């Protein structure tokens, strides 16, 4: 098989809150540190990428990769409403400059799940005011740093709140059935077995944010139809601002997408999921320059709903190990999207790095096949560069190409990082 084109972007991705550490002005910092927190553990110093980004980017470059997707943290840039922190914008200027010095193409995400605490107090991701606030934040970042940013993802996994809403509804439905137990598939960290703890948690949340806990709307709260529309209005506002300040920047958004497959009789389920996860967002992204596709696994539907495959091989996260899902998603997306695609996340949590190597090789074989079929794919960033803070699940999950001893913060590059770089240089 031929190598990828020299212009093809291969690298890895991170999110600020998951790797930087001490994101003290964010909503997630509040939620991690309150009494009765639903988080397994707080992020604390994380993997100290804030101070060690040069070491981490250099490891990526030395392996042979040429791209790094990372996020700028809104809560650092605007820790209190309307007050922008010059020191923090300079920090990200240095990160971007270091990428360019090392011939690493930066792909910047402006919002990756975490938000300033003050935004949630102001109504969060169900408030129309957030459109204006997000626009001002984007304007400041692009006015300051735009000349260093070739690609911007405005919002990470814009459809995630709707996916969480569906999971929550299914979970609540099952828990009302006679003799049922809590849904084992609670990867969003919903602790349904501990009602007393949840009451303590929400009471503490209300006190910390200074509002009725029923009105707390973080980006990962179950989303209403109104909130879903608001997310896309935020994206449109950001794109408008970015193009006005610097029209050369390529602007896109990312979606969390499963490879939906149907057995005979399951077609209607698949069509419904594909519409809700992706197709109904198409009118809002027609003016985008590229699309960020994020995929980890598949879901199979039969005439009675979701079907689990026999002898299912599971990842550490608990979903099916199926690297071919990525190619399936790319083929589906390409039927409805003709502009460039960047695979902004794809990866596996496992303690066995040989499984990660296998996953990367199988996934990128599928990507190569899709390119040969004429699909306009311009990049792949593996999730993630480092073993990091996996939100409510804490530090147990291991997606990274680089292991980190969090006591010493010493980095230990894995074989999978070498393999990813070798694929960039020599092909599959």
How many residues belong to the chain?
428
**In this structure, are residues 313 and 320 in contact, taking their beta carbons and an 8 Å threshold?**
yes
- Give domain status of residue 30, yes or no: yes
Give residue 187's pLDDT.
Answer: 35
Give residue 198's pLDDT.
Answer: 74
Instruction: Between 165 and 69, name the one with better pLDDT.
Output: 69
Q: Identify the H or E element spanning 67.
A: strand 67-71
- Give domain status of residue 4, yes or no: no
Residues forming the active site = 157
Is 70 exceeded by the pLDDT of residue 334? Answer: yes
Is 80 exceeded by the pLDDT of residue 205? Answer: yes
Is 70 exceeded by the pLDDT of residue 1? Answer: no
- Give domain status of residue 3, yes or no: no
Cβ within 8 Å of residue 68, ≥6 positions away: 11, 12, 13, 14, 57, 60, 99, 104, 105, 106, 107, 381, 385
- Give domain status of residue 394, yes or no: yes
* Gap between the Cα atoms of 204 and 198, Å rounded: 10
114-151 pLDDT, tens digit each: 999 999 999 999 999 999 999 999 999 999 999 999 99
Q: Which domain holds residue 89?
A: 9-426
Work out the percent of the chain whose per-residue pLDDT is above 70. Answer: 93
28-66 pLDDT, tens digit each: 999 999 988 989 999 999 999 999 999 999 999 999 999
Give residue 49's pLDDT.
Answer: 98
- Give domain status of residue 167, yes or no: yes
Q: Identify the H or E element spanning 27.
A: helix 27-33
Residue 173: band (very low, low, confident or very high) from pLDDT cuts 50, 70, 90: low
Cβ within 8 Å of residue 82, ≥6 positions away: 136
Give residue 427's pLDDT.
Answer: 82
Mean of the per-residue pLDDT values of the chain: 93
What average pLDDT does this structure show over 201-222?
93
What average pLDDT does this structure show over 160-184?
65
371-421 pLDDT, tens digit each: 999 999 999 999 999 999 999 999 999 999 999 999 999 999 999 999 999
Instruction: Please tell me the total count of domains within the chain.
Output: 1
Angle at 50 between CA 48 and CA 53, to 5 degrees: 95
78-122 pLDDT, tens digit each: 999 999 999 999 999 999 999 999 999 999 999 999 999 999 999
Q: Within a 10 A sphere around the Cβ of 387, how many other Cβ atoms? A: 24
Cβ within 8 Å of residue 51, ≥6 positions away: none
* Gap between the Cα atoms of 67 and 379, Å rounded: 8
**In this structure, are residues 19 and 60 in contact, taking their beta carbons and an 8 Å threshold?**
no
Q: Within a 10 A sphere around the Cβ of 398, how many other Cβ atoms? A: 22
Q: What is the pTM of this model?
A: 0.95
- Give domain status of residue 144, yes or no: yes
* Gap between the Cα atoms of 304 and 247, Å rounded: 49
- Give domain status of residue 283, yes or no: yes
Give residue 428's pLDDT.
Answer: 77
- Give domain status of residue 333, yes or no: yes
271-292 pLDDT, tens digit each: 999 999 999 999 999 999 999 9
358-369 pLDDT, tens digit each: 999 999 999 999
**In this structure, are residues 238 and 182 in contact, taking their beta carbons and an 8 Å threshold?**
no
**In this structure, are residues 328 and 289 in contact, taking their beta carbons and an 8 Å threshold?**
no
Give residue 191's pLDDT.
Answer: 41
Strand partners, 262: 301
Instruction: Between 24 and 195, name the one with better pLDDT.
Output: 24
297-317 pLDDT, tens digit each: 999 999 999 999 999 999 999
Is 90 exceeded by the pLDDT of residue 171? Answer: no
CATH number at residue 219: 3.20.20.80
């Amino acid at each position: 098989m031929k190598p990828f084109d020299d212009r093809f972007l291969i690298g890895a991705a991170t999110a600020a809150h998951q790797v930087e550490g001490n994101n003290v002005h964010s909503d997630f910092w509040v939620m991690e540190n309150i009494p009765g927190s639903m988080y397994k553990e707080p992020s604390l110093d994380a993997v100290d990428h804030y101070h060690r980004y040069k070491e981490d980017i250099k490891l990526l470059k030395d392996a042979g990769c040429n791209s790094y997707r990372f996020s700028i943290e809104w809560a650092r840039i605007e820790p209190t409403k309307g007050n922008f922190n010059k020191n923090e914008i300079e920090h990200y200027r240095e990160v971007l400059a270091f990428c360019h010095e090392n011939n690493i193409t930066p792909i910047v995400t402006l919002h990756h799940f975490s938000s300033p605490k003050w935004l949630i107090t102001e109504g969060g991701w169900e408030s129309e005011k957030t459109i204006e606030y997000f626009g001002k934040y984007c304007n400041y970042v692009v006015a300051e740093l735009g000349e260093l940013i070739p690609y911007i993802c405005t919002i990470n996994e814009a459809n995630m709140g709707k996916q969480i809403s569906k999971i929550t509804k299914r979970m609540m439905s099952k828990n009302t059935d006679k003799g049922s137990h809590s849904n084992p598939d609670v990867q969003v960290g919903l602790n349904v077995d501990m009602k007393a703890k949840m009451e303590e948690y929400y009471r503490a949340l209300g006190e910390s944010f200074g509002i009725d806990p029923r009105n707390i709307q973080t980006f990962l709260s179950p989303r209403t139809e109104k909130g879903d529309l608001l997310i896309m209005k935020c994206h449109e506002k950001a794109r408008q601002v970015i193009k006005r300040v610097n029209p050369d920047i390529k602007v896109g958004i990312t979606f969390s997408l499963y490879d939906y497959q149907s057995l005979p009789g399951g077609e209607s389920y698949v069509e419904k999921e594909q519409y809700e996860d992706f197709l109904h967002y198409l009118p809002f992204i027609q003016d985008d320059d590229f699309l960020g596709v994020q995929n980890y696994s598949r879901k199979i539907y039969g005439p009675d709903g979701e079907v689990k495959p026999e002898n299912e091989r599971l990842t550490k996260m608990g979903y099916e190990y199926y690297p071919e899902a990525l190619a399936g998603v790319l083929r589906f997306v390409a039927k409805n999207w003709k502009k460039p695609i960047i695979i902004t996340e794809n990866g596996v949590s496992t303690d066995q790095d040989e499984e990660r190597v296998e996953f990367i090789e199988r996934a990128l074989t599928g990507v190569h096949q899709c390119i040969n079929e004429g699909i306009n794919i311009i990049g792949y960033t593996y999730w993630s560069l480092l073993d990091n803070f996996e939100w409510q699940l804490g530090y147990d999950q291991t997606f990274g190409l680089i292991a980190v001893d969090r006591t010493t913060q010493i980095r230990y590059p894995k074989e999978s990082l070498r393999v990813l770089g070798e694929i960039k240089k020599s092909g599959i």
